[in-house]
Structure 1
Amino acid sequence: MTTHPVYSRIVGTGSFLPSTVVTNDDLARQLAERGIETSDEWIASRTGIRQRHIADDSQTTSVLATQAARRALEDAGVQAQDVDLIILATSTPDYIFPSTACLVQASLGNRGAAAFDVQAVCSGFVYALTTADSFIKAGRSRCALVIGAEVFSRILDWNDRGTCVLFGDGAGAVVLQASDEPGIEAAQLHADGSLSSILCVPGQVHSGHVTGDPFLRMDGQAVFKQAVSVLEKSARDALEQAGLSIADVDWLIPHQANLRILTFLAKKLGLSMDQVIVTLDQHANTSAASVPLALDHARRSGQIQNGQRIVLQGVGGGFTWGTVVARIG
C-alpha cells in the first residue's frame, strides 16, 4: 500500500481590530499634552503609518484573538470542536499562565485540542504557522488554528516618541488543514540571540513587583539594517527550498513594521510594490498580528485569490525572523 505524503493548506482566514481608531493627528494632540512634539507628517514620512487601532481596557489579547479565530473558522467552514491544535503567537499574553491559547480555546468551546503560545515577537505568527505545518506533516494534527494577537499599546512608553507612534493592537488567524495537495511549500525559521538588545522589553515580575524596564525599547536603525538583510536572504532561501524563484511569487506579505523596510525589501527581491501587501498605514505595527491581519485584509478585499502563491515573512525581537511560502486556498 502506497502512503501519500501529508501537506497542510490554509483554508480560512480571519481578523479583528478594536473599534477605537487613533489617527496620527489624534496621537499628536495626545502627546502634546505630555509635552512631546510630533505630527502626521513626521510619523507618516518616516514610517508610512497614518493610524492605528487601540484596545480598550476590557479587550485583552485573548478577546481579540477569539474574535479573529471565530472569523477564520467561519471562513473555513470549520466547527471549533473540529480543531485539534491551537497555537497562538503573542508577546502580550493575558497572564503569565495559563497560556492565552488555552483562554481562546475555552472561549471557542473547544475541549481536548493541544493549545499553547509561541513567543517570537513580530516573527511570532510565522513561527506558529511553521510549527502547525510541522504537526500536520508529522500526522499529529489534522486541523490547526493559528493565531497572532497583540495589545502592544499596553507595553509602550507614551513619553518615547521613537516607539509609541509605531504600534497598534489587533489579531489575525488562519485555519490550517491536512491535505493531499501542497499548500505550505517551504518554511524557514531563524534567530540570533546576540542581537536581543536592539528590540526588547527588559523587565519582569519578581516577588510581586516589576523589576527592570517594563516598556518596549528599540534601536530603530539597527532593526532596519538587520530586517532588510535577513528578510531578503530568508525569502530567497525558502523559495530555493521549494524549488521556486522570485518569478513564481504572486504576493509578498511581510511584517508590517515600516514602509521603508517594505520598499527596500521589494527592491532587493526584484518585486513591484504592487505585489506587496501593505496595511501598516491603517493598522501600524501589530507585531505577531501583522502578517495574518494583512493576509486576511488582502483576501477579503479581493487582492489575493485562491491558488495564488504568497510569501509570508516575519522579523522581530529576539532577534528572530522567518519565511513561509504557500499557495492560498
Structure 2
Amino acid sequence: MALTAIIEAHGGPDQFKLVDLDVGEPQNGEVRIVHKAIGLNFIDVYQRRGMYPMQLPHAMGMEAAGVIDAVGEGVTHLKVGDRAAYASNPPGAYSEARVMPAAQVCPLPDGISYEEGAAMMLKGMTVEYLFHRTSPLKSGDTVLFHAAAGGVGLLACQWARSEGIRLIGTAGTGEKCQLAKDHGATHCLNYRSEDWVERVRDLTDGKGVDVVMDAVGKDTFDGSLNSLKPLGMMISFGNASGPVPPFEVGILGKKGSLKITRPTIFTHISDHDTCQAMAQNLAAKVLTGDVKINIGQRFALSEVVKAHKALEARETTGSTVLKI
C-alpha cells in the first residue's frame, strides 16, 4: 500500500484526498518506483481544475524521483536498485510508490540528488525542447521569457547564459526580477510597474526578439506578438493566466510574417529514445554546474493542499517539491 493524493472531482486545492492504494506488480514494459521526492508543476493545477480533464477518481502528479523497486518484462534500461527520475503520463506521482510505464523513466546520475531529480525533469526537459527542438537557438539570439522567476524560468535563465543567448525575462516583483537576473537573465522587466512591450523594443533597438517563450497565456499573448521581430517565433507553452482566446491568423502576417506554435513536452518524450536523450542533455547541464536546480519550497506529501494553494497564488519561486 502507498499513501497517494487523488482527486474525485475537478476544482480547487481542497479537492485533494489522501488514500492508501495497492501498488501492485509491474507488467510488461513497466517498473515499480519507490519515490523519494515529488515535483509540483502548473500542469498539475490545470489537471486539478479540469482544464485538462481526466477520468476520475485519479491520482495526481507528473514528476518524481526515487529507486526502482521492481522491473517488468521487456525493460532493459533500468534494473532494481537504480536511482531514477521521470516526467511522464499518466498522472500518479503524488504517492509513496507506483507502478508505471518504464519508457519515460530515466536513470538519475549519482551526482544529482533525489530532490533535484524530482524538481528538474518536467521543467528541465521543457527548457531543453524550447531551446533545442522547437525553434533551435544559437549564441547571440534574443529570447523574451515570461515568468522568468518560476521553476521553468530560472532553468531557462541559466540555460540561456550557458549558451550565449540573451534572455529578457518578465516577473511580477522587483525581488523576482533580481532572482531571474541572478540566474542568468540579461534583463528582467517588472510587468506590474513597466510597459514591458515598450521596454523590449527599447532593449532590442526597436527590432524585437527572435523568440518569445510564453507560459502565461491570455494576459501576455498580444504583447508577446508585439515583441517579436519580423519572422520571429512565438512559442505558447502554458496557460497560467487562462487559455489564449481565438485570434485571426492573418494578424501574424500583418505583424511581420510571424510564426506560432503550441508544443507540449509529452509530444517530445513520447518517443523513448528522444526522452532519454533529453534527460541526458539536462543531466549534463546540471552535472557541469551550468544549470543549478533552485528548490524554493518543500512540503510533506500530506501538505499537498497547502502546496497547491501556494503554487496557484504564485507565491513560489523556483521549484517546489513534496517530500516523502
- TM-score when scaled to structure 1? 0.24
Higher relative contact order (CA 8 A, sep 6+): 1
TM-score, length-normalised on structure 2? Answer: 0.24
